[in-house]
Amino acid sequence: MTTTATLNTIRTRAARFANDFSRAGYEMGEAQNFIRGLCEIFELPVLKAVSFEHRAKKLGGSHGRIDGFFPGLLLIEMKSTGKDLALAYQQATEYLPNLPASNVISIP
């Protein structure tokens, strides 16, 4: 997936995206539109790049759903305004050990 957008184009799209979602606050009602908007910034084809509500196994064996999953690239776990973002981080990290190795990028 190669983008033809210039850095200035990406910056312009990112600023518009940030403005559009600056007052968003309801996770369930806005998560998928947020992720679609994020894809538009970088010209990522939504239907090929992201899996919404991706079913995944957590540490301890329970199952959950990842809000947005870009295999091998990004895992998005969102929370509504006022919720503790540390919980989103904890939830996201509980999925990582059970994702197939081909879906996990090692960060140095």
Write the pLDDT tens digit of every residue in 10-66: 999 999 999 988 887 766 678 888 889 989 998 888 888 888 989 999 998 999 999
pTM over 0.75, yes/no: no
Q: What pLDDT is attached to residue 81? A: 85
Which pair of tokens denotes residue 64? 């959950």
pLDDT score of 1 more than 70? no
